């Protein structure tokens, strides 16, 4: 079985105020979930570090809709972006995400599965 280093998920932004390069911006709620391919660089029960082609501003709240993975059922996890950097060389965003709340039983199972995915 081939291991993948990315996860196909969906995200739905919540209305919030995000600080982008020293300027506050209003992030409006998504009316639909956006399919997104994310490369998981690191994961813990507190959050994850990802790379994606989709821009998500620092401070943005969103729901991460995780598909069914092996024995783990699909779930929606509330998240907040804690860092969002654009890599000009690769034309990709490197994003730090905090889970809200952290350290749940679901997240513990997700961490184990993704580290072996």
Q: What is the pLDDT of residues 100-114, one digit of tens each?
A: 999 899 999 999 888
Q: Which domains does the chain have, with CATH numbers?
A: 6-115 (2.40.10)
Query: What pairs with residue 1 in β-bridges?
Result: none
Dihedral pair phi/psi, residue 12, rounded to 5°: -135, 115
Instruction: Give residue-wise pLDDT tens across range 72-104.
Output: 999 999 999 999 999 999 899 999 999 999 989
> Do residues 62 and 23 lie in contact, with contact meaning Cβ atoms separated by under 8 Å?
no
Kind and range of the H or E element at 39? strand 34-44
**How would residue 15 be classed by pLDDT, with cut points 50, 70 and 90?**
confident
> Which pTM was predicted?
0.81
């Amino acid at each position: 079985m081939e291991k993948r280093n990315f996860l196909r998920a969906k995200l739905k932004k919540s209305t919030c105020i995000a600080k982008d390069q020293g300027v506050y911006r209003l992030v409006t709620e998504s009316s639909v979930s956006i399919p997104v391919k994310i490369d998981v660089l690191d994961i813990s029960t507190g959050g994850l570090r990802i790379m994606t082609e989709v821009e998500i501003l620092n401070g943005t709240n969103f729901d991460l809709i995780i598909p069914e993975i092996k024995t783990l059922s699909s779930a929606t996890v509330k998240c907040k972006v804690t860092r969002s950097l654009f890599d000009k060389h690769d034309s990709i965003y490197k994003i730090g995400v905090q889970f809200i709340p952290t350290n749940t039983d679901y997240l513990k199972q997700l961490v184990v599965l993704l580290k072996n995915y």
